[in-house]
Amino acid sequence: MDQQLIIVGVLGLVCVGAVGFVAFAPTEKDKAKKRVQALEGSKGARRAVGSAQEQASNRDRRRKLSDALSKIEDQSKELKKKKRVSLEQRIEQAGLEFTPRQFYIGSLICAVFLTAIGFISGQKLWVTGLLALVGGLGLPNWYVNFARNRRQKKFADEFSNAIDVIVRGVKSGLPVNECIKIIASESPAPVCDEFHVLAEGTKIGLSLEQALGRMQERMPLDEVKFFSIVLLIQQRTGGNLAEALGNLANVLRGRKLMHAKIKALSSEAKASAMIIGALPFLVMGAVKLSSPDYLNPLFTTKEGNFLLIAAGLWMSMGVFVMSKMVQIKV
C-alpha cells in the first residue's frame, strides 16, 4: 500500500511538472523573438559603429574639400591680381609663333608703311600721324587679340568632346594621364596642343595642380577652370571621377547651347547697331556725290570740325552702349 502511494505521488509530481513545463516553457515564437532582438541589438551596435566611422569619413572628406576649394579660391584671387596680361602671354594665348621683339619690329614696319601712304596720298599732318598711330599700336594689337579670341572659341567648342574621351577612358579602366595623352594625339587643334603641353608637364615632374595652373594661364577660360576644380577635388577627396566629368561635359554643352541661343536672339539688335552706325557715313557719302560742296564747311571751318568731333563721340557712345546691351554673360 505504501509502495502504491509512493508511485502515485511520484506520478503526480511528474504530471504537475509536465503541466508546468508546458505552461511556462518558452514557445518557438518566443525563441524567435529573442533571436530577432539579439540580432537587432548586434545590428544596432554595428550600425552605430559604422555610422560613427561614416561620420568621421564624411567630416574628413568635407575638410579636404573645403581645403581644396579654399586653395583654388586663393589661386583665383592671385590670377585676378595678375589681371593685366603681358604681351608675351597674349602671344602665347593666341598660339602665335613670333616673339615680342618680332612683334615690335612688325608694328614699326606697319606704322612706317601707313605713314608713307599718308604722305604719298597728300593727307594732312594730323591724318598722317593718326595713320602712324593706327599702324604702330592699333592693327598689331588687334590682330593678336583677334587670333587669341578665335583660338579660345575653337578650344571651348571642342573641350566638352575632350572631356568625354576622359570619361570613357576612366570607365574602361585607363588612368587619367593616358586619357590626356589620347586627347593630345587625336583631338583637333588647339585642344590637342594644350593637352600635349599638359601631358609633357606631368611627364617632366610637375604635379597635376601645377600643370593645370599653367594650362589655365595659357587658356584663361571658365571651362578650363571648372575642369581643374573637378580634377583637383577628386584627387584630394576621392569620388567617382567619370560621373563628375560627365556632369561637367553636360554643363559645358548647356553653356554652349545657351550662348548660341543668346547669339541668335541678339542678332537683330546687333544688325540694328551696325545699320545705325553705318548710316551717317552712307548719308554723308550720298550727299557728297550729289552736292560735292555742301559738306565742305564741316572740314574747312573750326565750327564744322567741332561738330564732326561731337557727332563722332555721340555715335561712338551709342554704338558702345548698344554693344554692351547685347553682350550677355552666361
Interatomic CA distance for residues 212 and 233, integer angstroms: 13
Q: Are residues 103 and 246 in the same domain?
A: yes
> Is a pLDDT exceeding 60 seen at residue 262?
yes
Confirm whether 278 is domain-assigned.
yes
103-116 per-position pLDDT tens digit: 999 999 998 998 88
Q: Are residues 101 and 190 in the same domain?
A: yes
Q: Are residues 97 and 239 in the same domain?
A: yes
pLDDT of residue 145: 92
Choose the final residue of a domain: 26, 51, 84.
84
Q: Are residues 201 and 222 in the same domain?
A: yes
Interatomic CA distance for residues 220 and 80, integer angstroms: 11
Confirm whether 28 is domain-assigned.
no
pLDDT of residue 1: 52
Confirm whether 22 is domain-assigned.
no
Choose the final residue of a domain: 191, 219, 254.
254
Confirm whether 11 is domain-assigned.
no
Q: Are residues 57 and 106 in the same domain?
A: no
Confirm whether 5 is domain-assigned.
no
> Is a pLDDT exceeding 80 seen at residue 168?
yes
Q: Which residues contact 273 (CB under 8 A, 6 or more apart)?
A: 319, 322, 323, 326
Q: Are residues 290 and 179 in the same domain?
A: no
Average pLDDT value for residue range 27-37: 59
pLDDT band at 146 (very low <50, low <70, confident <90, very high): very high
pLDDT of residue 64: 62
**Length in residues, the chain:** 330
Q: Are residues 105 and 65 in the same domain?
A: no
Domain count, the chain: 3
204 DSSP assignment: T
Confirm whether 8 is domain-assigned.
no
> Is a pLDDT exceeding 90 seen at residue 256?
no
> Is a pLDDT exceeding 60 seen at residue 167?
yes
pTM beyond 0.75, yes or no: no
> Is a pLDDT exceeding 70 seen at residue 306?
yes
Residues 7, 13 contacting (CB under 8 angstroms): no
Residue 202: C-alpha distances to residues 36, 120, 206, 209 (Å): 57, 56, 5, 10
Q: Are residues 176 and 65 in the same domain?
A: no
pLDDT band at 77 (very low <50, low <70, confident <90, very high): low
Choose the final residue of a domain: 28, 59, 84.
84
**Apex 216 CA angle, 252 and 208, nearest 5:** 100
Q: Are residues 227 and 123 in the same domain?
A: yes
Q: 155 versus 265: which is more confidently predicted?
A: 155
Interatomic CA distance for residues 229 and 234, integer angstroms: 8
Do you find a cis peptide bond into 100, omega within 30 degrees of 0? Answer: no
pLDDT of residue 325: 75
Q: What would the DSSP string read from start to end of 90-129?
A: HHHHHT----HHHHHHHHHHHHHHHHHHHHHTT--HHHHH
The per-residue pLDDT of the chain, averaged, comes to: 79
Q: Are residues 74 and 93 in the same domain?
A: no
Lowest mean pLDDT among 93-97, 246-250, 255-259, 265-269: 265-269
205-253 per-position pLDDT tens digit: 888 888 888 888 888 888 888 888 888 888 777 778 888 888 888 888 8
Q: Are residues 65 and 94 in the same domain?
A: no
> Is a pLDDT exceeding 70 seen at residue 329?
no
Confirm whether 20 is domain-assigned.
no
Interatomic CA distance for residues 330 and 263, integer angstroms: 12
Q: Are residues 128 and 243 in the same domain?
A: yes
pLDDT of residue 21: 47
> Is a pLDDT exceeding 80 seen at residue 185?
yes
Q: 324 versus 66: which is more confidently predicted?
A: 324
Q: Is 136 buried (19+), middle (13-18) or exposed (0-12) by CB count in 10 A?
A: buried
pLDDT of residue 71: 63
273-284 per-position pLDDT tens digit: 788 778 888 888
Confirm whether 16 is domain-assigned.
no
What range does the domain containing 60 cover? 37-84
pLDDT of residue 44: 58
Give the torsion sign (CA, 54, 60, 63, 69).
negative
